[in-house]
Structure 1
Amino acid sequence: MKVESAEYLFEEKKKIEAWENDQKGLWFWEKIGRLPFLMLDKITPKFIQDKIGLAIDELGSYIQTGGQYLVKEDTILKKFNPNHSLWSEGHNRNDFFSNLPISKMDEIADEIGNSRTKLATIQGATTGIGGIFTLAVDIPVLLGLSLKVLQEISICYGYDPNEKSERIFIVKCLQFTSSDIVGKKAILEELSAYNQGNQNNQMISQLQGWREVVTTYRDSFGWKKLFQMIPIAGIIFGAVINRSSIGDIAEAGKMLYRKRRIVERIHQLESI
């Protein structure tokens, strides 16, 4: 069953590639985001630093097993069909998503992105109340929410975060949002391996470690988080920063997963 025409798929692929070219990385004032965290380390009580460190270490299990950060797939799949199982009547994941219009996948992905962005806004405002002490909670929680929205978007486009290769792709999406223009270009080249079926060895060998990913992600918005250290006023900064962060991550996840699905369909048409 041909869901979209070849012309439509190629045109949508061009739009995503234009978006990729527009990702100019971080502005100068964002690149100096590491500096405030050097200051923060000096003034933050040791018990708060230890708490952040433990939370970051726990996230390391995500790559290997998914751990506590795996989302429930059924919750997302029911958005496509709330009445019965999508895999009923002898159908499987590939059968269902191969016959599903990309526009429907986009619709659910946008719904999830908007929902998670609103949640991040509330969470950022809540943790902004206590300044530096609740900042220790905000960073690992925001990382966990980032992983969740990327997993949910992966499911929207027919990919399974229970697979280790997909969790690596998700981590790469997370890296993409916080990289400069050189880093973004390198990551896009790595992600292209997924469009060619090379999903395991190359990507795994290029992943330099979860702690480095988390550190880069944290530092990329470090100076902005510095303002959240101010009690009460941190409510506004926390809400705005978290909303922007999750919004950017949801957009990147949608674009990168959407491109994979489009490229797969183009390959299918070419093989007919």
Structure 2
Amino acid sequence: MSNSKAGILFFVAFRMGKSESTYEQLALAEMMAWLMEVKQRPSIMGIVTAGAQQAFNTIIPDKVHQAITFAMEKMVKAVLVGNQYITGDPFHTANLVDRETKVKDIITLYQRTASVEGAVTGAGGILLGLADLPAFLMIKMKMLFEIARLYGYDTSNLQERIFLLYVFKLTFSSQESRNETIRLLENWQDYVGRYPGHVEAFDWRAFQLAYRDYLDLAKLLQLIPIIGAGVGAVTNYKLSAKLGHFAMQAYRMRYFDL
């Protein structure tokens, strides 16, 4: 057994009393393992991959970059000030199992929705592929709002909406940006205590650049006719799963007060 795994088990044993459920012990262990993975230093391979991705971005048509920027700006502003993503009242229960049973069902539902959407838009080449950007962003943000509601948080609150945006950024950004974002989420109460309290304070440009630079080759292959349908279906399914997983761990951090 590695020292890191032993450390996780020791922490869980120390943190949890006998009165805690087995599910919560497993959830805490999973979250701690995820936290260690997220906090990794940028690897040489990661640096090389990021450099290659940035180089690849230079040959992408300007209209693609413009579409990404436009879609991200609209999505961020809709999250901060709109109501179209709100899915209902916060779910009230003290039982983590009940919460996460519903959360996992929601993630599966949105994975399937995103997969179908990716297949349809991917089949049409670059024009419909560009239409996938705002559509897929909407699906991902609707899923995040629903997950927040199921964990008992009120998404009409600006601070909770900003938390969701940072969960999104944590999921879809470089390792360097990820390390910065996870530190912010670990000290969330300190951050929101200093936040100015108005939507203009959120730097959406840095947010969209982090997302644009993350877009991998598979997602960009979705813009190619014929193969785009299959690529879009698989890529959207996997990216939705990743976002759902990161969101669960982020809310577990708050649940366990870490």
State the SS of the aligned residue for 1:263. coil
1:119-154 Cα shifts (integer Å, max 9, x gaps):
111011011011111121111221222211111111
The question of whether the paired residues in 1 share the 8 Å contact of 2:68 and 2:212 is answered with no
Match of 1:56 in 2: 72
The question of whether the paired residues in 2 share the 8 Å contact of 1:174 and 1:249 is answered with yes
State the SS of the aligned residue for 1:72. coil
State the SS of the aligned residue for 1:40. coil
Are residues 177 and 184 of structure 1, via their aligned partners in 2, closer, same or farther at CA, if it must alter by over 3 Å? same
Match of 1:137 in 2: 131
State the SS of the aligned residue for 2:257. helix
Structure 1 unaligned regions, length at least 5 = 78-95, 265-272
1:101 and 2:117 correspond:
no
Match of 2:34 in 1: 19
| Counterparts of 2:70 and 2:60, CA distance in 1 | 17
Q: Which deviates further from its counterpart, 4-13 or 211-220?
A: 4-13
Q: Which deviates further from its counterpart, 157-166 or 224-233?
A: 224-233
State the SS of the aligned residue for 2:155. coil
Match of 1:198 in 2: 190
User: In structure 2, which of residues 19, 26, 43 is the aligned counterpart of residue 5 of structure 1?
Assistant: 19
- State the 1:51 CA deviation: 5.0
Are residues 226 and 12 of structure 1, via their aligned partners in 2, closer, same or farther at CA, if it must alter by over 3 Å? closer
State the SS of the aligned residue for 2:182. helix
| Counterparts of 1:221 and 1:10, CA distance in 2 | 34
Are residues 5 and 41 of structure 1, via their aligned partners in 2, closer, same or farther at CA, if it must alter by over 3 Å? farther
User: In structure 2, which of residues 203, 207, 221 is the aligned counterpart of residue 213 of structure 1?
Assistant: 207
User: In structure 2, which of residues 30, 55, 59 is the aligned counterpart of residue 39 of structure 1?
Assistant: 59
Match of 1:177 in 2: 171
1:94-121 Cα shifts (integer Å, max 9, x gaps):
xx33xx2101111000000111011111
- The one-letter amino acid of 1:41's match is P
| Counterparts of 2:21 and 2:248, CA distance in 1 | 21
| Counterparts of 2:186 and 2:253, CA distance in 1 | 10
Match of 1:155 in 2: 149
Q: Which deviates further from its counterpart, 131-140 or 110-119?
A: 131-140
User: In structure 1, which of residues 62, 66, 78 is the aligned counterpart of residue 82 of structure 2?
Assistant: 66
- The one-letter amino acid of 1:71's match is I
TM-score (norm 1): 0.74
1:42-80 Cα shifts (integer Å, max 9, x gaps):
5x4xxx665554433322323531343x22215x85xxx
The question of whether the paired residues in 2 share the 8 Å contact of 1:36 and 1:226 is answered with no
Match of 1:228 in 2: 222
State the SS of the aligned residue for 2:28. helix
- State the 1:212 CA deviation: 2.2
State the SS of the aligned residue for 1:198. helix
The question of whether the paired residues in 1 share the 8 Å contact of 2:148 and 2:154 is answered with yes
Structure 2 unaligned regions, length at least 5 = 1-17
User: In structure 1, which of residues 242, 247, 251 is the aligned counterpart of residue 245 of structure 2?
Assistant: 251
| Counterparts of 2:181 and 2:195, CA distance in 1 | 10
- State the 1:7 CA deviation: 7.5
| Counterparts of 2:147 and 2:219, CA distance in 1 | 26
Are residues 67 and 73 of structure 1, via their aligned partners in 2, closer, same or farther at CA, if it must alter by over 3 Å? closer
Q: Which has the higher contact order (CA 8 A, sep 6+)?
A: 1
Match of 1:238 in 2: 232
| Counterparts of 2:170 and 2:119, CA distance in 1 | 25
Among the aligned pairs, what percent are the same residue? 23
| Counterparts of 2:34 and 2:99, CA distance in 1 | 19
TM-score (norm 2): 0.78
State the SS of the aligned residue for 2:187. helix
